[in-house]
Amino acid sequence: MHSKQPKNDWQTAGMARRAKGWLAGSVTLGGMAAVLFVLHLTLLAGVIDDLTFKGKPFAAEQHTILLLLACLGGSLFLQWLADMAGTEAGLRIAAHVRRDALRHLFRAGPVGCTTLPAGRILTTLTEGVDALEPYFAQYIPRAAMMVVLPLLILAMVLHLDGWSFVILACTGPLIPVFMALVGYSAQSIMDRQWMQLVVLGSSFLDSLRGLSTLRLLGQTEASISRMAAATDAHRASTLSVMKIAFLTSAVLEFFSSLSIALVAVVFGARLLSGTVDFRSAFLVLLLAPEYFMPLRAFSASYHARQNATAAAARLADLFTLPEMTQPENQPRLTHTRNHPIAHLMCSDLTAGYPGQAPAFQALSCTLSRGSLTVITGESGAGKTTFLRLVLGFLQPSSGQITAYDTTGAPLEVWQSRTAWVPQRPVMTMGSIADTLRLAKPNATDAELHAAAQQADALEFIEALPQGFATSVGERGACLSGGQIKRLALARALLRNPDILCLDEPTSDLDPASALRVAHAIRRCSANRIVLVATHHADMVALADQCLHISDGHGEPFSAPQRACA
Amino acid sequence: MNLLTVSGLFTRALCWPVFFGLALACVAALANFGLLFLSGWLLAGAACAGAAGLAAQQAFNMILPATGVRFFATLRIATRYLERLVTHDASLRLTGRLRVWVYTKLAPQAPAGLTDKRGGDLLSRFVSDTDRVGQSYTETFIPFARAILCGLAFALISGFFLKSAGLILALGLLVCTLPVPMSVGLLSAPCLRALTTQRGTFQAELADTLAGLGEYLTLGASEARIETLDSHQKTLQATERHLAALESGARSLMTFIGLLTTLYVVMLAVRAFHLGALSAPKIPMLALGCLAAFDVTQPLPAACQAFTRARIAAERLQTSCNAAPCVPAPTAPAPALHHPLDLIVRDISLRYPNTQHRVLEHASFTIRQGERVALVGASGIGKSSLISLLSRFYPYQGGEITLGGQDLRHFSTEDLAKTISVAAQDFHLFNGTIRDTLQLANPNADDTQMAEVLRTVQLEDFVQHAPHGLDTLIGDEGLALSGGQARRLVLAQALLRNTPWLILDEPTEGLDQKTEYALMHGLISARPDATILCITHRRTLIPFMDRTLTLAGGQICPAEEVP
């Protein structure tokens, strides 16, 4: 993690560029608000001086008071706008990053994404990206304000009183120095206890994740007391870090309190001797806390930076997922389909996943248009891996797949003509027509009908109360397993693919629906290459060719045989 | 009352850190007030004395107020530091208590009650929810209690010098403590609730997208999908924007009210001064005190929003914790098992809650003590469900299961664990060392026993060559291990428990044939008398077993009888 630090910094800087306008707007508005704020304090000091020492009646100050209220009102309004601009910058950047990350995940493909646990990808995309928001919304504008407002006040104080200027000018820069010193030692303590803090801090989640395991081990009771001890230990070690970490704000507090006290005492002595006037003394006293305010706001948002850095590191893991090697600039839909694919030749294919033995070696076979091929073999033998190769989600470590069109010419780009029906097809909220149009947003009703007919789905769709407009429910809850499979098949057919891959289309189905799905698949193979990974005997019986994978080797049989079931 | 769970935690043990934290917070706020109040008086007093001539100058005692200013400054430094420390400590204590309480309530519900049907990470939500409720102490309780107590004190102090000024200050502070933050809270509450549902929807959509990544790609729908998610994100962000605007707006409004109050107080003070009821230096003093007083109201709008957030979190926790476990805990203590420890399953059906599909339908089989039985069947057909059933994670519908002559319904998961050890596929490995992992299974195991089981599962070489031997860390969820090593470590845990029954789920997945053979051979010679039920799809394991059962179509029958 630590080695990635510079890259992350570069990354967050890169992110900031995306909402440059909003960030700049936030800082500018904040600066204008600061000017008005200082002006309002000046007027306030004037009013109080006039009323107390110049003996003016309250009524005489009416105009100044109105101006004063207008200044503060304006300042607060500008500050509100600055805050909103900052929030907007944070939200925009988060939205951008999330979109880019999703796009990258799509480029990495389903196989590439499995190198990270699905839960971690999800939390990175939700909480991780959310953690970037306060960094851009608060940390960056406040960091900028930390320069603007103190300089403004310093200039003002220089104009008012030399001694106070010296006090503020000396204490101001000392604060970051001491804060850095304390922060540095806090960091080193934190680094020393890092492992312990992480382990203890995650013990609650770890215990929850492992609750079933603990119950199976008969350790439920023991784990409760262990967790109580762990939370207590976590508190103790967190506190030992906080003791030092809070010193950074104590340093800030020290200097700000000290300089207020110093200003008061130093002015007091000179006021007594009559060498300075009350108005400037009072104004400096009003300005002094504001001088340190941005620093305090900044140090309060310091954890925003830490969270954002941690999030950036997790996002970096996500962005470094390798992309699928498939040429990415090819549009998947707009392919000129003069000649359909006639053959798919797989020669000497070896494939597997990093860090594991190859799923199969030297597999060769030919798949032809108009034929239904089933892939059989034990689970884990490599059926899905073979489908992934054909779909282009995975590249073979050696060997190749070549596609030839009906004129016999090899095709360079053919994976755009494949379609896939996975074991658990995606069902989005919406109507049946919406679900189908996922494949082809501009499909006509007639096209939907035709595809549904081909997939043997038309009958049940038309029997539904609202036909194609019927809602599928959450994750297809309103449909049966067989209906979902046939709907997914219809959806795949809507793109009229040359190659259709199906993964266990009949699993989890009762025998009658399984048979129905199998026959629908059989019918689809009339003018395309159909490839089915299956265990199901009925499906195998309908096949023209069977590819049996076992012990890392594949053997194609030309006729369906009971033996490969 | 939804925060009952939290207030129930204000027990005696937590009482003193909680109220000590509040006391420190109040002293810090008072010190801040005192610092500016006294500084104002010091400057104005010195200025008055300076203007009044030499006698007055000499009569003016600088030492006392100067010491007072320094005292308040020091007090502010010390108390603000201690306050942060003590309140964070109390908040961590609260969170800790709450977590233990939640954990105790959730334990009997695992795993059935802890799976989120919408794909969200339910468990991480427990972490953030307990955090949020625990933090409501520092985020809501302290700011409000401090604003009320200190506000009263500020008004009293000002009122001591000028009664009307005290009243006006009290009024101004009251407006900033109650109506303004409360209306922010009221206006934010529906937004925050909407935000919770919107977050849930977004997360579920995101989880669906990740699960269906491949299909979206082949459908050419990836861009459309990103657009859909983007529109969800836009809704979410509109709500967030609204909340930020409310909070920031309220803070501005309160600063403005603060200035109005100050000006009013100044007007009253000037009038009193002209009437001779107040000395001149007290005008700036009251003005500065008034400005400083409003510091305590600044965090209140955010505190109101934090309160609603904590309330939503507490409601969710309460719902989850009060849910009835899907296998009710047995009312009587577990009966003693009779020997032989035979497992007899008669006519049982299994359907997971909220599903229609029956995984098992009138299934029957018997396993005698000492038998070694393989259970085979296609993937996804429900082989692993049998583990859930035999460890009482899920209830079965109809039929009867007996173990050692006793009805399985009389046992809890923990009772059965004394007899049956399970090496499941979805086992969780805890962050810790190899030794911790093994001792979790058997706290009394010594190094010799551990070395023995590690030899049996073919991990001896690995542990010997690992940098710290048994004390090597296995990482979060065992990520520092390979899949095969993790699985064998789980197997070692099961073996170390030395129970008469062993249920193994794909024990040799991901191993080469040589290791697989050595492992199975070692396992059987180490535990020759154990009853073993081995769930597998690997034919290579079958020779190690006495007989084979097949699960197909919801039925379990001997291999040779499969239709």
Cα separation, B359 vs B382, whole angstroms: 6
Q: What is the DSSP string of A124-141?
A: IIIIIHHTHHHIIIIIHH
pLDDT attached to residue B380? 63
Q: Are A125 and A298 in contact (CB under 8 A)?
A: no
Q: What is the mean pLDDT of residues B3-32?
A: 79
Q: Exposed (0-12), middle (13-18) or buried (19+): which is A292, by Cβ within 10 Å? A: buried
Which tokens hold the place of B230?
Answer: 């983007």
Phi-psi map region of A377: left, alpha, beta (phi>0 left; psi -120 to 50 alpha): left
Nearest CB neighbour to B43, from listed A113, A278, A419: A278
Name the average pLDDT for chain B.
Answer: 88
Task: List, for residues B370-380, the tens digit of each pLDDT value.
Answer: 999 999 876 66
Q: How far is CA A358 from CA A382, A400, A553, B266, in A?
A: 9, 15, 10, 84
**Smallest Cα–Cα separation from A392: which of A452, A437, A344, A447?**
A344
Q: What is the DSSP string of B231-250?
A: HHHHHHHHHHHHHHHHHHHH
Using a CB-CB cut-off of 8 Å, the residues of chain A touching B207 are 118, 122
Using a CB-CB cut-off of 8 Å, the residues of chain B touching A167 are none
pLDDT attached to residue A471? 83
pLDDT cut 90: percent of chain B above it? 51
Q: What is the DSSP string of B499-561?
A: -SEEEEESTTTT--HHHHHHHHHHHHHHSTT-EEEEE-S-GGGGGGSSEEEEEETTEEEEGGG
| Record: contact A220-B432, CB cut-off 8 A | no
Hey, which residues 260-299 in chain B have their CB within 8 Å of chain A? 260, 262-263, 266-267, 270-271, 273-274, 280-281, 283-284, 287-288, 291
pTM: 0.84
- CB count within 10 Å of CB B361 equals 16
Task: List, for residues B38-97, the tens digit of each pLDDT value.
Answer: 999 999 999 988 888 888 888 888 888 889 999 999 999 999 999 999 999 999 998 888
Cα separation, A167 vs B168, whole angstroms: 35
Which tokens hold the place of A302?
Answer: 């310091």
Cα separation, B374 vs B550, whole angstroms: 8
Rounded to a whole number of angstroms, the distance from the CA of B156 to the nearest CA of chain A is 22
Cα separation, B348 vs B394, whole angstroms: 13
| Record: contact B218-A418, CB cut-off 8 A | yes
Using a CB-CB cut-off of 8 Å, the residues of chain A touching B240 are 87, 91, 133
Q: How far is CA A343 from CA A366, A400, A539, in A?
A: 7, 14, 22
pLDDT attached to residue A537? 80
Nearest CB neighbour to B248, from listed A47, A69, A83: A83
Cα separation, A437 vs A434, whole angstroms: 5
* DSSP type of residue B141: I
Confidence category of residue B304, pLDDT binned at 50, 70, 90: very high
Q: Are A215 and B414 in contact (CB under 8 A)?
A: yes
pLDDT: which is higher, B256 or A258: B256
**Location of structure tokens 């695992």:** B110
Q: Are A186 and A244 in contact (CB under 8 A)?
A: yes
Rounded to a whole number of angstroms, the distance from the CA of A373 to the nearest CA of chain B is 20
Domain residues of chain A, as ranges? Answer: 1-161+305-324, 162-275, 341-564
Peptide bond into A150 cis (omega under 30): no
Cα separation, A293 vs B27, whole angstroms: 20
Which among A213, A329, A493 is the top mutation candidate for probing chain B, defined by the most B β-carbons within 10 Å of its own β-carbon?
A: A213
Using a CB-CB cut-off of 8 Å, the residues of chain B touching A72 are 255-256, 259
Q: Are A392 and A324 in contact (CB under 8 A)?
A: yes
pLDDT in tens, chain A (565 residues): 333 344 444 466 678 888 889 999 999 999 999 999 999 999 999 999 999 888 888 888 899 999 999 999 999 999 999 999 999 999 999 999 999 999 999 998 888 887 777 778 888 898 889 989 999 998 889 888 888 899 999 999 999 988 899 989 988 888 878 877 877 887 787 777 776 777 777 788 888 888 888 999 989 999 999 888 988 998 998 888 888 888 888 888 888 888 888 888 889 888 888 888 899 999 999 998 889 888 888 877 777 888 888 888 888 888 888 888 654 444 444 445 568 888 888 888 888 877 667 778 888 888 888 889 999 877 667 888 888 888 888 888 888 888 888 888 888 778 788 898 988 888 887 888 988 988 888 889 999 999 998 888 888 888 888 889 888 877 777 777 778 888 899 999 898 888 999 988 887 677 777 888 888 889 888 889 999 988 778 888 888 888 888 777 777 765 544 444 3
| Record: contact B537-A380, CB cut-off 8 A | yes
Hey, which residues 325-384 in chain B have their CB within 8 Å of chain A? 357, 378-381
Q: Kindly report the length of chain A.
A: 565
Q: How far is CA B553 from CA A298, B384, B387, B547, in A?
A: 65, 15, 18, 20
Q: What is the mean pLDDT of residues B484-494?
A: 89
Q: Locate the chain A residue with the closest alpha carbon to B111.
A: A212
Using a CB-CB cut-off of 8 Å, the residues of chain B touching A378 are 537-539
Peptide bond into B111 cis (omega under 30): yes
| Record: contact A424-B65, CB cut-off 8 A | no
Q: Starting at the earlier edge strand, list the strands of the sheet with B343-351.
A: B358-367, B343-351, B400-403, B406-407
The dotted CATH code for A341-564 is: 3.40.50.300
Using a CB-CB cut-off of 8 Å, the residues of chain A touching B127 are 204-205, 208
End-to-end CA distance of chain B: 59
Rounded to 5 degrees, φ, ψ at A203 are: -65, -35
Confidence category of residue B559, pLDDT binned at 50, 70, 90: low
Cα separation, B312 vs B308, whole angstroms: 6
Q: Which residues neighbour A58 within 8 Å (Cβ) at sequence distance 6 or greater?
A: A51, B267, B270, B271
B238 part of contact set with chain A, CB < 8 Å: no
C-alpha torsion angle, residues A85, A91, A96, A102 (rounded to 10) = 180
Bridge partners (DSSP) listed for residue B346: B400
Using a CB-CB cut-off of 8 Å, the residues of chain B touching A117 are 477
Q: Which domains are delineated in chain B? A: 14-322 (1.20.1560.10), 343-561 (3.40.50.300)
B457 part of contact set with chain A, CB < 8 Å: no
Rounded to a whole number of angstroms, the distance from the CA of A494 to the nearest CA of chain B is 9
Nearest CB neighbour to B226, from listed A80, A99, A441: A99
Q: What is the DSSP string of A209-242?
A: HTHHHHHHTT-HHHHHHHHHHHHHHHHHHHHHHH
Rounded to a whole number of angstroms, the distance from the CA of B28 to the nearest CA of chain A is 11
Decide if pLDDT at B2 tops 50. no
Decide if pLDDT at B4 tops 60. no
Cα separation, A62 vs A70, whole angstroms: 12
**Smallest Cα–Cα separation from A187: which of A179, A353, B421?**
A179
- CB count within 10 Å of CB B280 equals 20
Using a CB-CB cut-off of 8 Å, the residues of chain B touching A125 are 206
Between chain A and chain B, how many beta carbons pairs sit less than 8 Å apart? 382
